[in-house]
Amino acid sequence: MKLINKDTDYAMQAIIYMAESKEGVVSVSEMSEKLEIPKHFLRKILQILHKKKVLKAYEGRNGGFSLAIPADKILLLDLIKIFQGPINLIECIFKKKICPDIRHCILKKKIDYLQGVISSELKSLSMASLSYRR
């Protein structure tokens, strides 16, 4: 069971790298090298973050990406939602038969509670809080 996949992991690293970088704009090539992340894969990830308005993109030579939002406003939960969908721990059981009998209701309450705890924890974690330049 995994909470954070590669996309989210790499996205975090890249965002923190950008937040810590002196230059405004950082290219995929640079991040790929420094963070040792496959270039094409990282590019795909950053393109998604751009579409989601987390990053600004600059085309052409010397182009690259920069943060569109300050790092303390980018939450781990946001990234997980973007790359792994909403937190939904138990869709398999409740997707079709929604609370068909009491046992599922009890379970559902527990799961809902758990989801709440997880969400609020992940909300409390900003990319800025993970940077050494705090």
Q: Please compute, for residue 106, the number of CA atoms within 13 A of its CA located in the half-sphere on the CB side.
A: 3
Name the segment binding its own copies (CB under 8 A); options: 38-46, 47-55, 66-74, 121-129.
Answer: 121-129
CB of 72 to its own copies, least distance (A): 13
Is residue 130 involved in binding DNA (CB under 7 A)?
Answer: no
Q: Tokens 């781990």 map to which residue?
A: 76
Query: Parallel, antiparallel, or unpaired: how do β-strands 64-67 and 55-58 relate?
Result: antiparallel
List the interface residues with its own copies, window 62-81 (CB under 8 A): 76, 80
How far apart CA 83 and CA 18 sit, in angstroms, is 19
How far apart CA 71 and CA 37 sit, in angstroms, is 21
Name the segment binding its own copies (CB under 8 A); options: 4-12, 24-32, 46-54, 59-67.
Answer: 4-12
Is residue 95 involved in binding its own copies (CB under 8 A)?
Answer: no
Is residue 59 involved in binding DNA (CB under 7 A)?
Answer: yes
The only residue of 25, 57, 90, 99 in contact with its own copies, by rule CB under 8 A: 90
The only residue of 25, 69, 87, 99 in contact with its own copies, by rule CB under 8 A: 87
Query: How many CB atoms are closer than 10 A to CB 9?
Result: 14
Q: Tokens 């079709």 map to which residue?
A: 96
Query: Is the distance from CB of 84 to CB of 5 less than 8 angstroms?
Result: yes
Residues in the site for its own copies, rule: CB under 8 A? Answer: 1-6, 9, 16, 76, 80, 84-85, 87-93, 101-103, 106-107, 110-111, 113-114, 117-118, 121, 124-125, 129-132
